[in-house]
Amino acid sequence: MARKAQDPAKVAERAAKKEAAKARKERKAQEERQRRQQQLEDARSAVKRLAEARDAAEARATNHAALLSHLNGFYDEIDKLAKGKALVQCTDLVVEQINDIIRDAKQIISDDQHLGRVKEFVPAGDNPVYPDVLIVTRAVQQCLNRTKDDVQSEKKKAFWACREMRTIAGALEAFLETGEYPGPGDVQDYMTGVPTESWFFPGEDGQKWFDFERLDRQGIASGEAPPQ
C-alpha cells in the first residue's frame, strides 16, 4: 500500500519548528555559558578578597594568642614585684614592656572601649609604681581574655567563607571546562581543599550535584555563611 504523500507545507513547518527549537536551545546554552563565565570572574575576585581576609584573621588570632601568653607571664611577675612595694617605682624595662603590650593589644583589638581608655605610661620623669602597672596589666589581660573567643570565631568564619567561594569558583570552572553539571569530586579537581558540602544537592540518580539554581538566586555573595 502506497504511503500517503505528506503535505509539503506541513513538512516545512515542522522542520522550521525543529530548527527554531534547536536555535533556542543553543542560544540558551550560550547565554548560560556567558552567565557562568561572568560568575566565575566574580568568584575569582571574591576568592582573592576572602583569602586576604582569611590570612589577616589568622594572623590576628595568632598574634592575639601569643600576646595573651606573654601577658600572662608578665602579669605574674609584676604581681610578685608589687607585693609590699606600693611606693617603689618600676624600672625603665618594665615601663617599656608594659607600653609595648598596650600598643600591641590596641593593634589587635581596636573596638574595645575599655582597652581604648588604657593609656601608655609616659617615659619621662618618675616611673609609675608597681601597683599602677599591675592594674593596667590586668585591664589589658581582661580585654584579651574577653575577646579570645570572638577572635577565634572570626578566624573560623573567614576560613569558611574562603572555602565556600573556592567551591563556587571550582564548580564554575568544571562546568565551563566540561559542559556538565559537576559533583563534589569534579569540583575538587578545580580547587584547593575540599568542597563545601552545603553547595550540593542529591539528584534522582543518588549522586550529588552542584546547586547552580541556588547560585543564580543569591549571586556571588561575600561568603559569610557560618560553618555547618
- The domain segmentation of the chain, as residue ranges, is 37-218
**With 50 as the cut, is the pLDDT of residue 228 above it?**
no
φ and ψ of 225, to 5 deg: -65, 145
d(CA 150, CA 164): 21
Whole-number pLDDT of residue 74: 97
Write out pLDDT tens, residues 115-153: 999 999 987 789 999 999 999 999 999 999 999 999 999
**With 60 as the cut, is the pLDDT of residue 188 above it?**
yes
CA angle in degrees (0–180, nearest 5) for 179-184-185: 85
Q: Which three cell numbers stand for residue 172?
A: 564554575
In sequence order, the 6+-apart residues with CB closer than 8 A to the CB of 65 are 148
* Beta strand spans in the chain (E): 200-202, 208-210
3-state class (DSSP) for residue 129: strand
Other Cβ atoms less than 10 A from the Cβ of 72: the count is: 13
Whole-number pLDDT of residue 226: 39
Find the mean pLDDT for residues 76-94: 88
d(CA 80, CA 86): 12
Mean pLDDT of the chain: 88
- pTM, rounded to two decimals: 0.79
Whole-number pLDDT of residue 205: 82
Least confident interval from 178-187, 192-201, 218-227: 218-227
Write out pLDDT tens, residues 13-66: 666 666 656 666 667 778 889 999 999 999 999 999 999 999 999 999 999 999
Whole-number pLDDT of residue 203: 85
| Rg (the chain; Cα; Å) | 31
